[in-house]
A and B are shown apart, each in its own frame.
Chain A
């Protein structure tokens, strides 16, 4: 089972989730023939396909049989046992429990000061979340380990307490361990856990997980978009069940997937793209049936979008006689072309009809020149949401939109999430985090009053006194009022 397996659209999952007419995949139960997201103790991540009877290799963390994890809810953490078997456990690391136990044994505020002895550490291990296993026996195995010895330990085979044994022995062999403060002891322990624990968490591959996977792999592929920015984009765009959206998505379909997830198969997304065919590579992990994707996602290329009348296909339906005269291959070709013509014309109709519930642009195209072509397709009072990895691009766009009276109150937003070390008594923001995440421009599509309006602003009363000057001043006043509103 490789990290990026081939998509297998023809596999029909044996499992059919209840109430999921359009998406016969489960978002709650680990189910066969579905892609899933694996978190490793190293904070690494993988996307795996759960083929019944298959074995999934997690590199140094071991390998496990797919059948062992099927049927558990997503989010479950497992420990790898002998012979690729797994057992469910509560947590991927011990971190939270350590702090708790230290406080119990040493009394709250003083916890930070005293050293943690090997015996106490042993106790921590046994009192850890994995309390269904009595796995540590430190007293009998104190020894100094060389890297060769660690290697040979690793090769000695997978057993349930393999990871802990190694960590235990490394700690035991660490002559200076007792002299470390509790902080560095814990850091050391965590590092070793990340290296040796044979554990993994099997998560549902939602849009956040998919985005995280791409951010780790190559953040440029998702244009540096962060999870919080994706969330902000979806909310500002008012994405919901049954909506009808125009989307430009250069993240390979991650934004598209996020929208499909929120809409759960109900609604329409017209996707404008700049090649012959759209790049929705991320959807291969979605487990959505091709028919459901076809129902929901309507691709249109920019040529068709910009010149709909030229690109519309004049399709002449063959008569019954003509159809009967066709040879099999010819008939097939006819059917294919007919279907394509209908699809192209129908998506062109979607765009010329317009009135979309939102336009969402996640693109590297020059926005000031692109966006004016999109505004007209958006329904009244619906949101226009633009994403860009650089604030400057949105800045230029906002300036160019400020003279477009079809757009109300454009604003640039930034959101950044700052994670904290979450241990009672020692809460603090983590020392480093990702710096990027992108920016959102949010505006509302409006219809300017025909013939213009006279705004209330500075100079209006003066203007009333001087009726003659009114016409000349009108534009100035408009500008001022706009400033007031901006």
Chain B
């Protein structure tokens, strides 16, 4: 669904080599002019226009990302949807299929919806983990963040959204094909235009320093000067010694290392200690989704009543005849004689076959008004029982960095 212009590997490759240079901007603008206004991850818009980035909600957990391009069609198992018809519709609109059958919803991208729909290049950081890391490390508008590696870019979108136009996301990816894909994706999503700088680098060997940071991304000291570091690397302990040169010197810096194995945590903790990080703590995040379901209320007295009913019908020979038929065969209501009209009508679902309080043999839809239900929650069938260990730590400058005029003379500090 993406534009061919941007998919041209040649363009992207040249672009990748030149991204730091001053030539980069005019070059880039020339071929992305068609979607330069895309700000999907920084603010909402209401009406869908040509070139917009849309998430088509097909079903729970099934979202397709498309760039609205006249002439293109989104084909799903729920029908075909022409892009042309989307133009002028509202974000959030329900759209019916080409032949009037089937529907999708046209959603505006957000980092959380993107996380559900994105193409996996690597294991991704899911929302329960990413949201906790952000909250714990105090990521807000204006925070300068290091992220290595970029991976599938799920967390990158979330970081980029939260740090906003005043913050910066420095993202590093050592795997070249992944880097190129991520860079293209960030370009298309407008991240590179606002606050994100992606670098092709093996930070474990090459460190984090960036030679020429575009002016709009540089802080006062013309360096990365990160407030928060997130390391999702196979061996974070080899990258930790390189951090000293790129983290903020005048404020506390928080770090989170994301590793699936406990052995990695061990090495990471030691490296953090050796490099002066403190308040080291490892945690795990368990995220769960609960489904809202309904459970039929089956009263014991109805069970007893039914057994008695079977007994009495047996003695009358009715039960034997019943067995001659297929149990639970679905029949239209009109076909069935109302033999037991004198009893509680609600519980006689399969009229003509005795007292059937729980709809035995019928296809009972959960929540059907004819029965009594209680609301219950059921945990999703597959839970993520382990994503990764999150090792947090802080680096304090341990020096006084500002003087305030004394208002009293009683306490002299050293």
Enumerate chain A interface residues (CB-CB to B < 8 A): 14-15, 18-19, 27-29, 31-32, 52-53, 65, 67-68, 70-77, 83-92, 96-97, 100, 129, 204, 206-208, 227-228, 230-232, 234-236, 238-243, 258, 261-264, 266, 355, 357, 379-383, 391-392, 395-396, 398-399, 402, 405, 408-420, 422-425, 427, 429, 439, 442, 444-449, 453-456, 460, 479, 481, 484-486
Contacts and interface: CB of A to CB of B under 8 A. Distances in A.
Contacts of A239: 162
5 contacts: A19-B166, A235-B127, A235-B131, A379-B46, A415-B132
Interface string B397-408: 111111111111
Contacts of A235: 111-112, 127, 130-131, 134, 158, 162
Given A96-B273, A262-B141, A74 B96 contact: no
A392 B375 contact: yes
Interface string B66-81: 0000000000011100
Nearest to A391: B377
Nearest to B389: A420
Interface string B277-292: 0111111111111111
Contacts of B401: 29, 71-73
Interface stretch (B3-11, B99-107, B209-217, B340-348): B99-107
B265 to A, nearest CB: 6
Contacts of B97: 456
Contact of B377 (A52, A83, A412, A425): A412
B376 interface: yes
B233 interface: no
B105 A408 contact: yes
A22 to B, nearest CB: 10
A241 B164 contact: yes
B281 A422 contact: yes
A231 B136 contact: yes
Contacts of B294: 399
B141 A446 contact: no
Nearest to A477: B101
Interface stretch (B87-95, B145-153, B317-325, B351-359): B87-95
A456 B77 CA distance: 8
A432 to B, nearest CB: 14
Contacts of A76: 252, 396, 398
Contact of A414 (B161, B276, B287): B287
A227 B46 contact: no
Interface residues of B, number: 102
A300 to B, nearest CB: 21
Given A14-B404, A242-B42, A261-B140, 7 more contacts: A129-B278, A232-B131, A236-B127, A382-B92, A415-B288, A423-B269, A427-B266
B411 A84 contact: yes
A245 to B, nearest CB: 11
Nearest to B276: A90
Given A227-B135, A231-B131, A264-B166, A454 B101 contact: yes
A67 B406 contact: yes
Contacts of A208: 135-136, 138
A380 B380 CA distance: 27
Nearest to B105: A446
- By Cβ-Cβ distance, the 9 closest A-B pairs, closest first, are A380-B92, A231-B135, A75-B252, A53-B408, A241-B164, A28-B251, A65-B411, A235-B131, A264-B141
Contact of B164 (A204, A240, A402, A439): A240
Contacts of A67: 404, 406, 408, 411, 413
Contact of A227 (B136, B220, B400, B414): B136
Contact of A240 (B60, B108, B130, B161): B161
A409 B57 contact: yes
Contact of A445 (B92, B251, B367): B92
B17 interface: no
A413 B101 contact: no
Contacts of B285: 228, 415-418
Contact of B60 (A52, A53, A409): A409
A90 B377 contact: no
